[in-house]
Amino acid sequence: MLDPETLCHRFYAREGEFLVEHSVDADWIESRAIPGFRVRRDWLNPTALPSVSTCVQEINA
């Protein structure tokens, strides 16, 4: 989730009947649904979006 006022990012995953926060303070957020897919937390800032080519280069690095 992204708080639109503070731009604070929080990521949750289901564990049984609960939603548990994960990737707290991690630079890279690893997808739990798509193996190998990840994004950098700083890419999620809507005021400073990186280019797609920059993201792809960093993912493949």
pTM: predicted TM-score of the whole model, two decimal places: 0.68
For residues 15 and 28, the answer to whether their CB atoms sit within 8 Å is no
Question: Hey, which residues does 11 pair with through a beta bridge?
Answer: 22
**What SS3 state is found at 60?**
helix
Residues 5-50 have pLDDT tens digits of 777 888 898 999 999 998 888 999 988 889 988 899 889 888 889 9
- Nearest-10 Cα torsion for 29, 24, 41, 15: 40
Residues 1-13 have pLDDT tens digits of 777 777 788 889 8
